[in-house]
Structure 1
Amino acid sequence: MVFKKFMAKLGKGAAQVDLVLDQEEYTLGEQVSGELVIQGGTVPQEINGIDIDFMMSVHTEKQEQTVLIHRFPFPGSFQIQPGERKTLPFSYELPKNLLLSGYSVSYYFVTHLDIAGAVDSTDRDPVLIMPPQRLQNIFTALEQLGFREKYGSRSFDGYMQEFEFSPTSFLKEEAKELGFVAGMEEEGIRLLLEMDLYSFTGEQELKREVWIENRVLDDPGQLVPFLRQVLTEMVEHPHSYVHDKQRFYHHFRHKLSGITGAVGAFAAGLIAAEAFQDIVEDGFAADFGEGEESDDVGLFDGLFGGEEDL
């Protein structure tokens, strides 16, 4: 028994923790659910507490940041016996204003089991944050038109998340790339389209702001021809859509920042440093069982610098 206790302190034969989620893919605002499993080891052990951290990792051109979005503490200590199994329900409503998962944005839960006088047990569970249905309808419509989302799509520059597509059939000879950022509103989605055209001088960048109502977003029979017409007009009348990139982006950001019907404080496509603070101030719902509460811990302060750095 003495040897078993010694080995358990080093982690071999110690209690283990496992967060078992019902699924791995979720949309913005969806409920994450599952159960927290604590499995006893070979000897009795005192558990000081359990924390579950919801983390976001963001790669930008300059750096990689790992951010604690929310911490769910499980208060109180308890003893777990050899071979004993304890399970606790877990649920969490995802915010509606997170970046979407992509090559530069990832999410995961880290579960930490604090074992008194021994090596702690940890568990890591990645999850994918998928587009809300209205935005997914745009992706689907572009795919039907012959555009394929690029590997480097959904990049984040500290302010906006951009979606990038390559033409595979429609406009393949005219355009090199199609990109956009999106502002989610209650009545529809506002897009800032950017198309790179082939030209005799190299490439020509065109920009156009587009408003798409929900009735169009919800009807593929309307959405596909609408996008086809918009993109065709950009190619056929390029001089009508040439803009200074920085000034146009600034105008678009300013317009979205005043949207009162946006999903949350910001949406996929418009991320400002002050909005990260809003996530923490608003608070999220977590449920470990009846009568228990969760406290916000992680702050986004300094993640991408202040507003003057954007």
Structure 2
Amino acid sequence: MSIFTKALASLGVGNAKVDTRLRQTQFRQGEYIEGEVHIQGGQVAQEIDEIYLYLVVLYQHERNQQEYVMEEYRLSEVFTVAPQETRVIPFEIRLPYDTPVTTGGCPVYLKTGLDIKRAVDPDDNDGIEVLPHPLVEKVLSVIEKVGFQLVEIDFEFENYYSRHPFIQEFEFKPTGDLRGLLDEIEVMFYIGEKEVEVILQLDRKATDLMSSLEEALELDQRTLRLSVNEQDVTGGTEDLQKKIDDLIRHHVH
């Protein structure tokens, strides 16, 4: 193989290529992702230092779209791919429980790349759909049943602990008799395998001089917490519905 061909490969022309193929593209928070990384050798033999896989989230903050790597996975050790050789690397990784759901317009994708010395690193992006953890889904459904409508899914960047720069929040507006007492509630989750901690932030409506003053001073919010596990919803969500309804009403009046 000529020096010219090797030089082209170093610039990405005739370089090895990578293609990630997922067994499926829809997952719930905490589920496993299975797939294969297909590597097609180029015009020259190339040493692959590693195959990396990044879980990437695109989110909006202060009108700017930002790319954030939630997790990084290394899939292989050093190996050499021969000219035109095909290599297949299977993998199984777990989607973190705190991966944002994509329903609210928050793109999540896997970025795969080959680390090749003295060459342009080829990569491949694969979008995935992330659905809520089953307990999160049940809590969101219960909140709607007690008289609220989901109007927006966004991110909170301050005041709540997270290993990431953000935590996803679900914003609800009251549709029933609480419309005169609440502007909205914001709901956030800390998710485990069989239990979730629910954060409910109540934004009370100004109804008199005192509550108007509280609103001006941003003292009109109440933060509530409760834990929900699998036993709480076994056989139905009626008990959980009553628990959440009572909790909200107790702190509104």
Q: What is the TM-score of this pair, normalised by structure 1?
A: 0.60
Deviation at 1:177, TM superposition (A): 1.0
Q: Which structure is higher in RCO with an 8 Å CA cutoff and minimum separation 6?
A: 1
Q: 1:178 aligns with which of 185, 208, 222?
A: 185
- How many residues align structurally? 233
Structure 1 match to 2:77: 75
Per-residue CA deviations over 1:153-204 (Å, capped at 9, x if unaligned) read 3424362435232225233343211023445578854434221122235343
What's the CA shift for 1:121?
Answer: 0.9
1:210 to 213, 216, 226: 226
Q: Counterpart amino acid of 2:77?
A: P
SS in 2 for 1:113: strand
Q: Post-superposition shift, 1:207?
A: 3.5
Structure 2 letter corresponding to 1:113 = L
Q: 1:92 & 1:212 partners in 2: Cα distance? A: 26
Bigger fraction of residues in strand: 2
Equivalent residue, structure 1, for 2:38: 37
Give the structure 1 partner of residue 248 of structure 2.
231
Aligned partners of 2:114, 2:194: CA distance in 1, in Å?
45
Name the CA shift for 1:20/1:159 in 2 (closer, same or farther; >3 Å): same
> Residues 117 and 193 from structure 1, CA distance in 2 versus in 1: closer, same or farther, beyond 3 angstroms?
closer
The CA RMSD over aligned residues, in Å, is 3.7
Deviation readout 1:255-307 (Å, 9 max, x if unpaired) = xxxxxxxxxxxxxxxxxxxxxxxxxxxxxxxxxxxxxxxxxxxxxxxxxxxxx
- Structure 2, unpaired ranges of 5+: none
- Percent sequence identity is 22
Output aligned runs, 1:1-310, within 5 Å.
Answer: 7-41=8-42, 43-57=43-57, 66-67=68-69, 69-82=71-84, 84-96=85-97, 98-101=98-101, 107-115=108-116, 117-157=118-158, 159-160=161-162, 161=167, 163-167=169-173, 169-170=175-176, 171-184=178-191, 188-201=195-208, 202=212, 203=215, 204-212=220-228, 214-218=230-234, 219-235=236-252, 237=253
**Deviation at 1:37?**
0.6
d(CA) in 2 for partners of 1:112, 1:31: 20
Residue by residue, what CA displacement relative to the aligned partner does 1:230-249 show, whole Å, maximum 9, x if unpaired? 333333x2xxxxxxxxxxxx
SS in 2 for 1:172: helix
Deviations 1:34-93 (A, max 9, x none): 00011234x2332333321334557767x96844633314123223333x4322211113
* Contact 1:9 1:118 (C-alpha < 8 Å) held by counterparts: yes
Q: CA deviation at 1:26?
A: 2.7
* Structure 1 residues 197-235: Cα deviation after superposition (integer angstroms, max 9, x where no partner): 222353432343435454333422333343333333333
- Whether contact under 8 Å (1:59, 1:156) holds in the other structure is no
Work out the CA distance in 2 between the residues paired with 1:123 and 1:9: 18
Residues 4 and 146 from structure 1, CA distance in 2 versus in 1: closer, same or farther, beyond 3 angstroms? farther
Q: Whole-Å Cα distance in 1 between the matches of residues 34 and 12 of structure 2?
A: 28
The separation in 2 between residues aligned to 1:162 and 1:115, in whole angstroms, is: 36
